[in-house]
Each structure stands twice: as structure tokens, then as C-alpha cells.
Structure 1
Amino acid sequence: MKICMLGHKRIPSREGGIEIVVEELSTRMAQKGHKVTCYNRRGHHVSGKKFDTELLKNYKNVELKSVCTIEKKGLAAMSSSMFATFKAAFGNYDIVHFHAEGTCAMLWLTKLFGKKCIVTIHGIDWQREKWRGSFASKYIKFGEKIAAKYADEIIVLSKSIQNYFKETYNRETKFIPNGVNRPEIKLPNLIKKKFSLNKNNYILFLGRIVPEKGLRYLIDAYQNVETNKKLVIAGGSSDTDDFVKELQQKSLKDKRILFTGFVDGDLLEELYSNAYIYVLPSDLEGMPLSLLEAMSYGNCCLVSDIPECKDVVQDVGETFEKSNINDLAQKIQYLLNNPKIVEKYKKNVQLYVLDHYNWDDITDRTLDLYEMIIRE
């Protein structure tokens, strides 16, 4: 098959969950002998120029094509996806796979040129706080409506989003979750030198620093907890520099709170490998890849009780009531006071997540969906 993917920032990259999904799927599909093209954004890494890399034309047998991007908040994703859609419409592809809602605003064009189109909805993006009340929010919701009307198939990452599309658009969707790889557990070498962190002496949040991740609640809750363990907030801005500054100001007087900025490579692996617990207090998610990764490293995970998180951790992690600072503080304190409970979760979580969320299986299910719509 000749497959095209668009809607991500760029691969290889860890700028967000979509980039990880596109990389995992596209490289596996290429390995199976399919011809895969991914349309990367031009422009700078969302966490700063220092993370920019050279423009690649090929990555693990995936052809990479860079498209024009208007470097302005709210326009980068819109402009790059529009240019990518034009190229996909005129390209020789059996399948065009759109990732994220806003990307789909021009999906009708690819249908006009006879392409088979699949959409993966990674989350209800127009609800995100950074877009609230803006033109970008309206544009993203327009893309959602176009996807519901014209896509040959829609993949969703959670049962709640599946219900949303059924109730809102009377549109059937296919549930195919994200996956995870078996990681290599790392000793705390870099994090010890750079941040004075050691095995089990910190609580970890790792993800994009955006309002819907619940970081305001996490900081407030942590400041009501009795502990010498640090709170490590690892991740970069995603068009949310003002929010990052707000959190840093909020934490200024608490020397136990550490902001690492964007992390990847060995630094990221060491942070996952050595945390006492991992906390994800999100108000809004699609399917959180950072949570799957934390579980794959054998972490005890504490998450908000939204379905997208609760359905992932099942009975191998702890939950708290969404947005409830007191409940979050109590659950953190409970896990700090009960290391045997933490160890029990750590013992069971890795096997569970690797068994239920396997990238090879998910790639095969996605390819089966491609083949089904090609035959139609």
C-alpha cells in the first residue's frame, strides 16, 4: 500500500503524543513493506530553537516531506496541515491518514480527488484551554465536523470519545488505542548529576505543560503534603509559555518543586525509571501516551478519574476525583505513607500494560482497517 500521514509536527520527535503515534505506526508499516510518506512541519520545535534538528528526507524507510508553516500561535498547525492536504490530494496514495481534528478541515479536498481517508481523533482538541474562545477553537471544531461527515473511517482512542461521536454526529467509529514499547530501565546517572535526583526520591509528572493536564491542582495538592520527596514537572511548553511562567511563579517559594523543561533521550528514560510515583491529574485527554509509558517502566501511577485515564490504569493504579485538590493531596500522602502499596502496583503494572497496549498489534489492526476501506 501507498500510505500518507499528516497532522503531526514532525518525526522523529517527542513534541507531543501525536508525533509518537505517527512515528510508531509509520515506521512499522514501512518495515512491513508498505510505502509510507509523512508530511512534517517546517519551523521550530515548540519547546525552543535549541531542540531543532536538521530536516530529514528519510527516517527508518519512511519518506519525509516538509511543508510550509506559518510560525504563529494558532496558525502553525492550520497552515502546515492545509499545505500537506493539498500535496496529499495530488499525490499517488491508497490511504491518506489524518491525525487530529483541526487537520481534517481540508479532508474534503482529498475525497474530491478520490482518496480513501482515515482520521485518528487524538482528543477533543477544541475544548483545550489554550484555544478557548478563539478562532482556532472554531476551526478545530469545523475539522471535527468535516471528519464526521467525510472520513471513510474514524479511529478513536477511548470509549468516551467513541460515545461522543455517536451522540454528537451519529457517527460510528473504530476504537484502536495507542501502544507502548518495552523500555530499558536506566540507573539515575544523568538526573543525579543534573537535578540531584535519585531512585524513589521524587514524584514525577511528565508531559506537555498545558492547562488541561491539571498541573495547577498538582502543585496545590503537593504543597499540602508532608514529604521530602521532590515534585518533578518534566515537559515543554506547547504554545503555552505564559502558563509555564504562571506555574513557575506559583512554585517559587517551594524549593522541592523542580521544572526540567523539555526532556528526551536518556534523561527522559532515567526520569521514568526512577520515580517513586507518576502523577497525571488531567481534566482532558485522548489516550495519554505519557501514562502508558510511565506504566511500561513499572511505575505506580496516580491519575484523575476521567475515563481516558481510569480505563487505562484499571486496577493496577490509583485514581483521584478530577479537579479535587484535597482528594489528590490525600492520595499522594497515602502512597507516600504506604511504600508496600506502591511496590505492589509496581510489581503488576508493567506486564499488564505491555500485554494490553502493544504497538505491533495496533499497527496490524490499523493496516486491516486500511485494507477494508480499500476493498469497499
Structure 2
Amino acid sequence: MKRILFVHNSIPDYRIPLFSKLANYPEFDCNFIIFGKYNVECKQKINCGLNSSKFEFIIFKKYSIIRIINNFLKIRKKIINGNYDMIIFDAPTYPEIMLLNLPLISKIFFKNCKPFVKIIWDEEFEWNKSFKRKIVLPLSKYLNKNADAILVPTKLHKKWQIKLNVDPKKIILFPNVTNIYKKYDEKKIKRICQKYGLNNKSIITYVGRLVPIKGVKFLIEAYFQLISENENLKKDTVLMIVGDGEDKNKLIKIAKKINEAGGNVIFTGHINNSDLSEYYEISKFGVVPSVNISGTSEAYGLVVNEFLVYGKPVLVSNVVGASALIVDNPEFGHIFKEKNIKDIKNNLKMLLDIDPKSYQIRSKIIQKNIKIYNNYEVNLEVIKNLALGE
């Protein structure tokens, strides 16, 4: 039986179903090293249906030379003792992962190890031009070129890898999948609508953290312009901001002028993932207005998948990785230029103007087509083909 090792930096909620399926897959033996700063929280998720015997955690709080050496040696020992046929590394953003992937280091430290297929799972794309990334990029480029395969979530990320001179034949689409499915409670929907006065309203929804990189202030300003130019939309629409974060109070101040002008912006605060279904279901469409700050932006944006699963179109800024889904599937929504309030406003108006019959048809198409991308079976098939050489 083929043995596979994942060296990954976290277990986000949406990856739990995939990792659980891989850990219990009958055709190969899959194990995991969960590595990085967030692993105390990750370790608590082992009770979420994951096979704990398949997971090993390397937890650290801060960088140090000693920490890098110790972690490198721990992972090296795991690799040598595990007798693996294939190892899938997270993108080499930590020094340990970089060292493990360097061809020269591999020759020295793994010379007595069984040869294994080396794969890098990389979700970076060209919008990430932070100072740290500029330093790491040349080495990352070298490592990716020397890997046996690169896993990327969309064609946009594939194009970026090709720009880095990675062989296109090595690049494999490995889509991100949401674990939030279409299961909602009508009674909960009724309570939410009563609480916020949402009945008979077209609800424009943002879901996510309230931090600068998410660009929510540009959405609020665009909505203000929209209702200022279209009096009827003050009563017929609501902008619902779902989430919490450091910018919340600033955003509430910005939104105050909308409420004073007769419009309606609602801040729900933090909502647990398990309770988001109802908020997606009552929305007319979603907006993901993320921006590029100091060279860093949204590598993917899984919330795009989440809206689409519910048949809701999405407006997405051009620096969101998941915008690639809309390029390939125009019915999924529209792409606007980041930080461009006028462009956001025009796209808001465009979706609000869709007649009910056309909207229903579009919603059904979205729900049907997103299954092609939002499907863990696609990921399993990719790993199976790589492991078994199919």
C-alpha cells in the first residue's frame, strides 16, 4: 500500500472533511504533520472526525534558530521512519519547509531514505508582493521548479506558476472546497428576518473578518453612493455585514451616514460557521471586496464558494484568488477593480436590477455548476492518481 505524508500548516474547518477522507482512504495510507503557529487550535479539532493516530503536531510560538533546527530534524525523522512514497508539502513559507525541499539538503539528509515523490501545495499568486514574499519568491520559484508536481486551486494560480517557469505539465488543479452546505432552518431564517427587519428586502451580504485587507469600507461607501442616486433602494435594500474584527467600530462610523440618510446597514457581529447557512440563504448576492495592502491580498477567498453553494451570485474584487471561478463561469457573478467605489456601485446596481425569473434561473445554474469545483471527490481523485500513478 502506498504511503503518503502531508506537511501542512493548519487544519482550517473547511479542510477537516478532506483530511478525514484522506486519513481513512482504503487504497493508501495517508498521514499528516500539522506544522505552524496555529496548531494549539488545530489540535483541538482532532475530535472532529479525524483519525488522531494519523496526525502529529509541531507547535511553536516564535521563530528562533534552535526552533528551526529542531523542527527540521523532527520532520526529517518522521519522513525517514515513515518510508513514504509521496510527500505533499505546504507552500515553503517556513524555513523548515524550505530546507526540506532544497535539492542539496535532500541529497545530504535523505541519502539513506527511500526515494519519494515531492509535491508542493501552493496557493500563492502574483498579487502577493509583500516584502517577505519578495525575499522568499526567488527560493520559492526554485523549489517549485524542482518539485515533481504543484497543486494549485484555480487556473489563475496555475498561470502564476507558469510565470515562475514551472513546467505546465507539473501543475495540477486542486480546488478549495467549502464544508458549509445547503442545510438551513426556516425557523431560524424567520427569526433573523424579524430581528433585523429584513422581510421583502434585497439583502447584499458581506461575510468575513472586519480588517483592512477585506476592503469592507469600500463596499460601504459604494452602497452609500448607490442609495444616494437611487431613492427607491433605501427602502428596498439592506447591506448586511456578517463578522467581527479590529475595524468594526470604524466601519460602523462610516455606515452611520447611510442609516441617517434612510438606508440600512446591519452589523451582525461574529456568527459561527455552523450558523451561517441561514445568512447565505436570505442573501440576494454576496460581495467580497478584498484589497491589496502592501503587496498582500486574498490568496483565495473561500467565502466565494460558500455564496455559490447557495445559488447566490458574488461580486468579487480583482485581487481575490477565487475570482478565477467567475472568469470561467460568468453566471457566478462579476469582478470589479479593487478599491474602485464607482465600479462596486455599478455592479451592485447590476445585480439588484435582475428580474426575479432571470435570477431564479441563474441561481439554479450556479448551484449546478459550482458542484464541479466544490467537491472533495475531485481532491481525492487527484491524490489517488498521483499516489497510484493513474
Same fold, TM exceeding 0.5? Answer: yes
Choose the corresponding residue for 2:331, options 316, 321, 325.
Answer: 316
For residues 227-266 of structure 1, the aligned pairs below 5 Å read: 227-228=234-235, 229-235=237-243, 241=246, 246-247=250-251, 249-251=253-255, 253-255=257-259, 256-266=264-274
Kindly report the root-mean-square deviation, in angstroms, between the aligned alpha carbons of the 2 structures.
3.9
1:342 aligns with 2:359: yes
Choose the corresponding residue for 2:162, options 158, 163, 166.
Answer: 166
Structure 2 CA distance for partners of 1:125 and 1:223, relative to 1, 3 Å: same
Choose the corresponding residue for 1:54, options 32, 39, 44.
Answer: 44
Choose the corresponding residue for 2:386, options 369, 373, 376.
Answer: 369
What residue number does 1:116 align with? 117
Structure 2 CA distance for partners of 1:139 and 1:193, relative to 1, 3 Å: farther
Gaps of 5+ in 2: 228-233, 292-296
Gaps of 5+ in 1: 15-19
Asked if the contact 2:205–2:239 (Cα under 8 Å) also holds between the matched residues in 1, the reply is: yes
Structure 2 CA distance for partners of 1:319 and 1:179, relative to 1, 3 Å: same
Q: Find the residue that maps to 1:2 and give its secondary structure.
A: strand
Asked if the contact 2:125–2:156 (Cα under 8 Å) also holds between the matched residues in 1, the reply is: no
Structure 2 CA distance for partners of 1:271 and 1:91, relative to 1, 3 Å: farther
Choose the corresponding residue for 1:175, options 173, 176, 199.
Answer: 173
Alpha-carbon distance in structure 1 between the residues aligned to 2:133 and 2:70: 17
Q: Number of matched residues? A: 349
Q: Find the residue that maps to 2:161 and give its secondary structure.
A: helix
Alpha-carbon distance in structure 2 between the residues aligned to 1:86 and 1:194: 57
What residue number does 2:186 align with? 187
* Bigger radius of gyration among the two: 2
Scaled by the length of structure 1, the TM-score of the pair is 0.75
Structure 2 CA distance for partners of 1:158 and 1:196, relative to 1, 3 Å: same
Structure 2 CA distance for partners of 1:245 and 1:144, relative to 1, 3 Å: farther
Alpha-carbon distance in structure 1 between the residues aligned to 2:154 and 2:305: 13
Scaled by the length of structure 2, the TM-score of the pair is 0.73
Asked if the contact 2:299–2:320 (Cα under 8 Å) also holds between the matched residues in 1, the reply is: no
Deviation at 1:171, TM superposition (A): 3.4
1:352 aligns with 2:349: no
For residues 61-80 of structure 1, the aligned pairs below 5 Å read: 61=51, 63-70=54-61
Structure 2 CA distance for partners of 1:330 and 1:178, relative to 1, 3 Å: same
Deviation at 1:86, TM superposition (A): 4.4
Choose the corresponding residue for 2:31, options 34, 37, 43.
Answer: 37
For residues 138-177 of structure 1, the aligned pairs below 5 Å read: 138=134, 140-141=136-137, 144-172=140-168, 173-177=171-175
Asked if the contact 2:9–2:36 (Cα under 8 Å) also holds between the matched residues in 1, the reply is: no
Q: % of aligned pairs identical?
A: 20
Deviation at 1:143, TM superposition (A): 5.6
Asked if the contact 2:87–2:118 (Cα under 8 Å) also holds between the matched residues in 1, the reply is: yes
What residue number does 1:97 align with? 88
Asked if the contact 1:70–1:79 (Cα under 8 Å) also holds between the matched residues in 2, the reply is: no
Letter in 1 for 2:242: A
Deviations 1:150-207 (A, max 9, x none): 3221112222322222222343322332345653233361772996375765322223
What residue number does 2:230 align with? none
Deviation at 1:363, TM superposition (A): 1.4
Alpha-carbon distance in structure 2 between the residues aligned to 1:201 and 1:69: 46
Alpha-carbon distance in structure 2 between the residues aligned to 1:208 and 1:295: 19
What residue number does 1:267 align with? 275
Q: Find the residue that maps to 1:364 and give its secondary structure.
A: helix
What residue number does 2:306 align with? 293
Deviation at 1:318, TM superposition (A): 2.9
Letter in 2 for 1:26: F
Asked if the contact 2:34–2:57 (Cα under 8 Å) also holds between the matched residues in 1, the reply is: yes
Deviation at 1:244, TM superposition (A): 5.7
Asked if the contact 1:70–1:80 (Cα under 8 Å) also holds between the matched residues in 2, the reply is: no
Alpha-carbon distance in structure 1 between the residues aligned to 2:134 and 2:319: 24
